[in-house]
């Protein structure tokens, strides 16, 4: 697939998307608040810690924006957008346990405050709430889309775990991992809107592809800014992926392009024996020397342009403009 040339806005913002979806998101947030309640006090306490943790809520906003793009007049997408957010939040709770993370978006993670067992079990509770919302919607097609995305996300996380500290991980393997663990939910979040709007197969295919390409671009940028931005920008500490031995595209490219000495360093770093602050600084220098960060971001821009191509069938208007800026914002976060 080739991408058309789209000039990307030099200073994009999520503000148009937030403004477009503000009324819908108020309704979505009411569903989230109601459905995270439980007679077990720890469940809303722990879930609320993460849900209220300052995230952009980009995935449910995409569901609402896609519904606006399809000119959907109803309200079914509110509960489904909440289901999307519950799936996302559940995966974050599980990820933080797997990664032994201590901070997220500048706050202590739930697993550090309440422990791993509570984090995993509350994540399971949120998955269950998501499936309740899907079933209540009554559409087997919606249920199939979101349940399949949940399975693919889990597969992606397991694939990433098996690739951890494996220096031989290929670029194709990496792309398949991020398409599963990140892009699948972006795609599903966008896909369900034209389903409930009965907008037709062309709209469904276009918006699913839009979400998938946006999700890949989003994750590519995330993996680049792990080495270029402070925690205030990225939501995690500089070099977290490096210390955890995650095989992201910057390392894959730097290893492939490095000298014998560089490759020896990368084998030791990914293997977990070169993870000091000095080692991280050396790794960042190698990224710049080999162009690994720049090329990772260029690949992100390619997927962003593909996402913009996917919006071509839809008429101009506030919804299309807001989604366009959301794509541009996804890649501009790195600058």
Q: Are 59 and 186 in contact (CB under 8 A)?
A: yes
Residue 323: its pLDDT value, please?
Answer: 98
Query: For the segment 186-204, what is each residue's pLDDT rounded down to a tens digit?
Result: 999 999 999 999 999 999 9
**Phi, psi angle pair for 104, to nearest 5°:** -145, 125
Q: What angle do CA 191, 304, 270 make, to 5 degrees?
A: 100
Is the pLDDT reported for residue 257 higher than 60? yes
Whole-angstrom Cα distance, residue 216 to residue 226? 16
Average pLDDT over residues 18-31: 96
Average pLDDT over residues 105-125: 90
Query: For the segment 58-109, what is each residue's pLDDT rounded down to a tens digit?
Result: 999 999 999 999 999 999 999 999 999 999 999 999 998 988 888 877 788 8
Whole-angstrom Cα distance, residue 179 to residue 188? 12
């Amino acid at each position: 697939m080739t991408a058309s040339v789209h000039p990307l806005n030099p200073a994009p913002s999520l503000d148009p998307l937030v403004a477009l979806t503000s009324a819908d998101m108020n309704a979505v947030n009411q569903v989230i608040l109601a459905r995270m309640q439980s007679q077990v006090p720890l469940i809303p306490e722990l879930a609320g810690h993460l849900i209220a943790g300052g995230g952009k809520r980009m995935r449910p906003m995409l569901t609402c924006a896609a519904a606006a793009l399809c000119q959907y007049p109803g309200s079914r997408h509110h509960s489904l957008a909440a289901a999307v957010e519950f799936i996302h939040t559940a995966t974050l709770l599980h990820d933080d346990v797997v990664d032994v993370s201590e901070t997220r978006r500048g706050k202590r993670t739930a697993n550090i405050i309440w422990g791993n067992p509570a984090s995993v079990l509350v994540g399971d509770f949120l998955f269950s709430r998501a499936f309740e919302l899907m079933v209540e919607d009554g559409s087997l097609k919606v249920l199939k889309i979101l349940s399949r995305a949940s399975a693919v996300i889990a597969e992606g996380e397991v694939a990433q775990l098996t690739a951890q500290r494996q220096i031989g991980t290929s670029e194709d393997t990496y792309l398949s991992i991020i398409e599963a663990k990140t892009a699948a939910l972006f795609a599903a979040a966008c896909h369900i809107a034209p389903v409930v709007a009965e907008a037709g197969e062309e709209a469904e295919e276009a918006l699913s592809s839009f979400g998938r390409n946006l999700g890949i671009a989003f994750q590519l940028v995330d993996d680049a800014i792990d080495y270029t931005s402070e925690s205030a920008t990225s939501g995690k500490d500089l070099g977290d992926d490096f210390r955890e031995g995650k095989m992201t595209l910057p390392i894959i490219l730097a290893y492939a392009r490095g000298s014998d000495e560089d490759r020896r360093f990368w084998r030791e770093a990914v293997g977990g024996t070169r993870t000091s602050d000095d080692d991280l600084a050396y790794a960042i220098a190698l990224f710049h020397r080999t162009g690994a960060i720049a090329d990772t971001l260029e690949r992100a821009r390619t997927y962003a342009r593909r996402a913009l191509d996917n919006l071509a069938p839809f008429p101009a208007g506030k919804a299309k403009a807001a989604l366009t800026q959301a794509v541009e914002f996804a890649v501009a976060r790195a600058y």
